[in-house]
Amino acid sequence: MAYTYDDQNIFAKILRGEIPNDTVRETEHSLAFRDIQPQAPEHVLVIPKGAYVTADDFAARASDAEIADFWRCFATICADLGVTPDTGAGYRIISNAGHDGVQEVPHFHLHILAGRPLGRMLNS
């Protein structure tokens, strides 16, 4: 089943420059910015610039160049934040999808959460 992309979603507006954002990193195919309601001392959202709804949509349809760019962007941010596990810190990545995943914004995004012990993965 193909996803229908809503180009009025908030991240599409950020990508078009219609809404400001606190950019952490921008690459050819990806943009990373701070979450407006951070759930941890470090809370960065990484999004592809292309119109993908969920992680599975991105993995299925994005080009190899977009996929490599996205994950390298993520890795660089973790290194720049100083949270890679070799530092003794660590992080959690989350990508909510669809109804049961409680996805609020229908543009694929990866949450990077770090900066404190994050507790168990799910609390319900």
Instruction: Return the structure tokens found at 92.
Output: 């959690």
Q: Mark residue 37 as left, alpha or beta (left: phi above 0; alpha: psi -120 to 50; beta: remaining).
A: beta
Element (H, E) at 59: helix 55-61
Residue with tokens 């759930």: 39
| Annotated catalytic residue 43 | no
- 56 near ligand 5GP (CB under 6 A): no
Q: Which is nearer to ligand 5GP, 27 or 96 (CB)?
A: 96
Footprint of ligand 5GP on 31-50 (CB under 6 A): 33-37
- 10 near ligand 5GP (CB under 6 A): yes
Listed in sequence order, the DSSP H helices in the chain are 10-15, 55-61, 64-81
Q: Which is nearer to ligand 5GP, 37 or 86 (CB)?
A: 37
Active-site residues: which are they? Answer: 109
Q: Which residues here bind ligand 5GP, judged by CB under 6 A?
A: 10, 19, 21, 33-37, 96, 102-105
